[in-house]
Amino acid sequence: MIREKLVVIKGAGDLASGVAHRLWRAGFNIVMTEIPQPTVIRRAVAFAEAVYSGTTVVEGVRGRLVKDAQEALWVATSGEIAVIVDPQAKVVGELRPQVVVDAIMAKTNLGTRIDEAPVVIALGPGFRAGRDAHAVIETQRGHDLGRVILEGEALPNTGVPGEVAGYSIERVLRAPAEGVFQGLKTIGDQVRPGEAVARVEDVPVISAIGGVLRGLLHDGLWVTKGMKVGDVDPRATLKHCFSISDKARAVAGGVLEAILYLVRKH
């Protein structure tokens, strides 16, 4: 029974966390894998933050950092979401879950196989349903966002951020140089056009637009020039910084649908 309700999610960023939150509320036990230094931007709504802080809460659900598969299973079956530093997702072989979800959002398959679990689901481009996973979930904003794809692939990555209140590329903060990242503001702060919100070494990270700082990279990480380090929301609504996005909820709904459909099909 435990294995039938167990889901391992690769990645613990904001989309992955939206999936985890919905599946947890639907009664599944969740284990999430991450890299040693996650580069998540929307940290206030990402269980990846547990890697740095030990525990984190996303909309009332607690994620807890664990050290091994045994502890992960104990935490996941005790009402919390387990987060484990496991870049190769070795915990999948140790726990043998019913479901594996690749939510790394790398735009390419980093090693997920269709035979890893009875149900394997992947988010976004880089996967083919029927070859790499049993189902692929569309992650591109638009008419098909959240659609369950049982044959074929998701739409290719455009490289252009989705439009919010008329802004797209302008709302993304990128590193102006290579070096150590340091925030000057925190998530939820108001930002003015032309204001410095962070720095890389001695070079400021300037916001092109005004709004609220919805996401910001963790302090102390090494970044490369052009790397995404923050996100300004021009709608300037504070609660958006601390709640799961509409996109993540749509994708999460697709994952839940795919699990229920594929389990019934089997």
- Give me the amino acid identity at 213: L
In this prediction, residue 2 carries a pLDDT of 60
pLDDT at 227: 97
Average pLDDT over residues 142-165: 87
Angstrom distances, CA of residue 83 to CA of 50, 72, 80, 126: 7, 7, 10, 24
Average pLDDT, integer, range 109-128: 97
Q: How confident is the model at residue 246 (pLDDT cuts 50, 70, 90)?
A: very high
Q: What's the rounded mean pLDDT across residues 45-66? A: 98
Q: What is the mean pLDDT of residues 5-10?
A: 97
The mean pLDDT of 104-125, rounded to a whole number, is 97
Distance CA 121, CA 104 (A): 12
Burial class (CB in 10 A: 0-12, 13-18, 19+), 54: exposed
92 vs 158, more confident? 92
- On the question of pLDDT at 55 being above 80, the answer is yes
- Counting residues of the chain whose pLDDT is more than 70, the rounded percentage is 97
Looking at residue 157, its pLDDT comes to 81
Residue with token string 């590329």: 169
Q: How confident is the model at residue 99 (pLDDT cuts 50, 70, 90)?
A: very high
pLDDT at 1 over 60: no
Contact (Cβ atoms closer than 8 angstroms) between residue 59 and residue 48: no
Residue 158's pLDDT is what? 73
The answer on pLDDT for 266 being more than 90 is no
pLDDT tops 70 at residue 43:
yes
- Predicted pLDDT at 142: 92
CA 174 to the chain's CA centroid:
19
pTM metric for this prediction: 0.95
Determine the pLDDT at residue 159.
72
